[in-house]
Amino acid sequence: MTVRLYLIRHGETEWSLSGQHTGRTDLPLTARGADEARELLPRLSRIQFSHVFTSPLQRARQTCALAGLGAAPRIEPDLAEWDYGDYEGRLSRDIRKERPGWEVFRDGCPNGETPDQISGRADRVIARVCNLDGNVALFSHGQFLRVLTMRWIALAVNEARHFSLGTASLSVLGFDPSHPDVRSIDLWNASAAR
Which of the residues 12, 36, 76, 81 is marked catalytic?
81
Query: How many Å apart are CA 68 and CA 26, to the nearest integer?
Result: 21
Helix or strand run (H / E) with residue 97? helix 92-98
Q: Is 10 a catalytic residue?
A: yes
Give 3-state DSSP helix, strand, coil % of the chain, rounded to 5.
Answer: 40, 20, 40
Of these residues, 10, 21, 51, 141, which one is catalytic? 10
| Domain architecture of the chain: domains with CATH | 3-171 (3.40.50.1240)
Full-model pTM: 0.96
3-state secondary structure of 176: strand
Model confidence pLDDT, tens digit, residues 41-94: 999 999 999 999 999 999 999 999 999 998 889 999 999 999 999 999 999 999
Please list, in sequence order, all residues whose beta carbon lies within 8 angstroms of the beta carbon of residue 94, skipping any fewer than 6 positions away: none
